[in-house]
Amino acid sequence: MEGGGRRISASPRPCSVRRVVAKKRPRVGGVDGFVNSVKKLQRREISSKRDRAFTMSDAQERFRNIRLQEEYDTHDPKGHCSMVLPFLRKRSKIIEIVAARDIVFALAQSGVCAAFSRESNQRICFLNVSPDEVIRSLFYNKNNDSLITVSVYASDNFSSLKCRSTRIEYIRRGKPDAGFALFESESLKWPGFVEFDDVNGKVLTYSAQDSIYKVFDLKNYTMLYSISDKNVQEIKISPGIMLLILTKASGHVPLKILSIEDGTVLKSFNHLLHRNKKVDFIEQFNEKLLVKQENENLQILDVRNFELTEVSRTEFMTPSAFIFLYENQLFLTFRNRLVAVWNFRGELVTSFEDHLLWHPDCNTNNIYITSDQDLIISYCKADSDDPLSEGSAGSINISNILTGKCLAKIRASNSTPLESEGCCSDKCCVSGSSGNCKSKKRTQAARTRSTVAEALEDITALFYDEERNEIYTGNRHGLVHVWSN
């Protein structure tokens, strides 16, 4: 539930928070934020109504004719080298997809990670550079155009996390072994972790061996400062600050707010708790502190003036995950396959129409939020009236976060690849749009072997490449599908 970081579990994946913990410890949470001053200035100059209307029409146009174009396979029955571990040769589901430049990276639950070129549509290489390497997560570092892999190794009984940074250019040349190790001085055994914070450009590590947290610069990986306090139970990252949650005392929890840049303590205070009640969560978003205890109201505390807002426990029930939207000063909650948008006055802003998530466990690897934080792309339950879904295929829904309106939908009955030239029926269009296809010559991609209905079955990972306007999905068979105009 971290606001700006990505915390990765060393066992199969929780979601989009990228903190890597050296043992299975599922977590859910925040999505990587993007700071773009040009876009902020543009939004400042354009009225919100005009901007919102343009965004909606632009989104409908962008996703109008998206259809299944390519299929990639991460599975190699021979393994990526002769000495590979037996379980790495087994076909397994895709748990994470990352795209950078013209390369699509797909990570399977087995620990095999493959890189595919969108230019040649061929597999470039596997990212596993040793026979016993099991990759647990990926992080694209846009600061230096590199991919960070977080792995465990059989030689060390899969007990310690190891990080490696590899330039995208080297991977494009098929040289995944040209990278270099990161954080070698840190002992990242359980419950140690590494967390990548894209919002602030920082990396947080925790060495359980000596109970020391360290903060590194994401640009060059130099260490900035360390925090040595055995009373720290948890750290939450937010833009510009870190929240330190200390050991719970009788009737209160001590909290500290630190500057993310140099570790300076900005504020220390105690937050009163109901005795003998479990704490469901404590979250920090800029100056707002969210605290929820079992069967109690949600408390929203402004740490600047300690003004307290309460939301009834019947209105706000404990979600299974949060995503903080820094651009819009809002946050998403996920509960029972439903998504909702709240503001920090405790008011429900948006309930999404036609947006029942496929996975009940809120696997946010099946959710993508655009960098402007205006659209959410999710894998959802298909309509009951979709004749091609047959109960096992879902749909990919594109919805507006501020209005909850479904702008477009990729489903089995409306995005079938066209096999013959000259076809321009509305079946090639995504629902939510209108009009005919512009080109009268559209052919199905030769490499695609799955039908659209099959490609929409049991999607286990989803990623949207905003530059290429392409959606990539992975399924339980280890296949990656490209949905494009």
Summarised one tens digit per residue, pLDDT across range 428-443 is: 334 444 334 333 333 3
Residue with the bigger pLDDT between 482 and 249: it is 482
Residue with the bigger pLDDT between 124 and 286: it is 124
The rounded mean pLDDT for the chain is: 82
Percent of the chain past pLDDT 90, that is, above it, reads 58
Given pLDDT bands bounded at 50, 70 and 90, which one contains residue 304?
confident
In 3D, which of 186, 284, 187, 274 has the Cα closest to residue 239? 284
Given pLDDT bands bounded at 50, 70 and 90, which one contains residue 89?
confident
The pLDDT score that the predictor gives to residue 88 is 75
Residue with the bigger pLDDT between 415 and 295: it is 295
The C-alpha angle 87, 464, 41, rounded to 5 degrees, equals: 140
Rg (CA), the chain: 23
Q: Mean pLDDT over residues 269-291, rounded?
A: 92
266's enclosing H/E stretch is: strand 265-272
38's enclosing H/E stretch is: helix 37-45
In 3D, which of 472, 477, 478 has the Cα closest to residue 68? 472
pLDDT at 30 over 50: no
